[in-house]
Amino acid sequence: MRLLVTGGAGFIGTNFVLRTAATRPDWQLTVLDALTYAGNRENLASVAGRVDFVHGSVADADVVDRLVASCDAVVHFAAESHNDNSLDDPWPFLESNVIGTYRLLEAVRRHAKRLHHISTDEVYGDLELDDPARFTEDTPLNPSSPYSASKASADLLVRAWVRSFGVNATLSNCSNNYGPYQHVEKFIPRQITNILTGVKPKLYGQGRNVRDWIHVDDHNDAVLAILERGRSGETYLIGADGELDNRAIVALLLELMGKAGDWFELVSDRPGHDLRYAIDSSKLRAETGWTPRYQDIRAGLTQTISWYRDHEDWWAGAKARTEQTYRRLGR
């Protein structure tokens, strides 16, 4: 297998490349990454001899065509991924997430290659806190933010290229990931690094919004299961039954890091803030046999806290820049 991984220097992509390099020794891996503020080539230093790295954008038709021509399959992680940034400046989201996906689709169509497109549960909008329903593959797309609208747009392009041009593609929509190498702009690493630097965790609004947490390794195992056993043209929802509100996550972090339970502050809310996400992953489990290995969030968070404790060099610079942006946004 010659696999092209887009966005392989970001959070989920890095974990995917490290894991795949270790578990699939005969696969040839190439990473295409634009190295935006969220990408870090050093993440892949331990596999540098084993992985070809190309610095470039998925929105660049020439580089995409050349790389797709010489692979068997593409796993497409590359995207602008942070909701707060998309509310500040939507354009990079349109360029990377929509135009970038279009460029890849045209290349896999031209060269008849397999594509697995990585997407998010946010494309389905949000649920009420007391709604017994969870998202399924049949839930209508109803995105709220420029980020989720750009991901929903990309999903629609993939579905259209499957139907109209017979492109060999699968899609997955996953819930909120946590684990090592996640950028400190995101909720869990922001709060861990706040606590490590003596700053109170910051909850948007009243902290009652619910996310369905999954460890990044469980997400990536599901991606490999779909790549190897998924049916062409199908969408699979990925989730690990990890619903918790943001207050509960902060309470766990404070407890695991030895701080008082009331040591947090409420800050101004995100405009249009989705209330709740929840995934029904029955289809994925039934068709591929995938099950999550991290079902104990305390154990997953303990491992994640240790990683941030041990890798201050990795996050200190990004932390300073990120908190400057948050101060400007009043959050």
Catalytic residue at 122? yes
**Residue 6 touching ligand TDX (CB under 6 A):** no
CB of 25 to ligand NAD, least distance (A): 24
For tokens 């295409």, the residue is: 32
Q: Which residues of 260-292 are buried (b: 16+ CB within 10 A; e: fewer)?
A: eeeebeebeebeeebbbbbbbbeebbeebebeb
Number of residues that bind ligand TDX (CB under 6 A): 16
7: partner contacted, choices ligand NAD, ligand TDX, none (Cβ within 5-8 A by kind): ligand NAD
Paired strand residues for 236: 172
Quote the longest CA-to-CA distance of the chain: 58
Question: Of residues 84, 121, 185, 274, which has the active-site annotation?
Answer: 121
51-55 β-sheet, strand order: 51-55, 28-33, 2-6, 73-76, 114-120, 169-174, 235-238
- Phi, then psi, of 248 in degrees rounded to 5: -65, -40
Nearest to residue 42, comparing CAs of 11, 69, 9, 88? 9
Question: Of residues 102, 124, 147, 181, which has the active-site annotation?
Answer: 147
**Residue 37 touching ligand TDX (CB under 6 A):** no
**Residue 120 touching ligand TDX (CB under 6 A):** yes
By CB under 6 A, name the one of 18, 20, 103, 122 that touches ligand TDX: 122
Catalytic residue at 277? no
- Taking residues 203 to 222 in sequence order and writing x for each that binds ligand TDX by CB under 6 A, - otherwise, the string is xx----x-x-----------
Q: Which is nearer to ligand TDX, 17 or 123 (CB)?
A: 123
Residue at shortest CB range from ligand TDX:
120
**Residue 190 touching ligand TDX (CB under 6 A):** yes
Catalytic residue at 88? no
Q: Give catalytic residue positions.
A: 121-122, 147
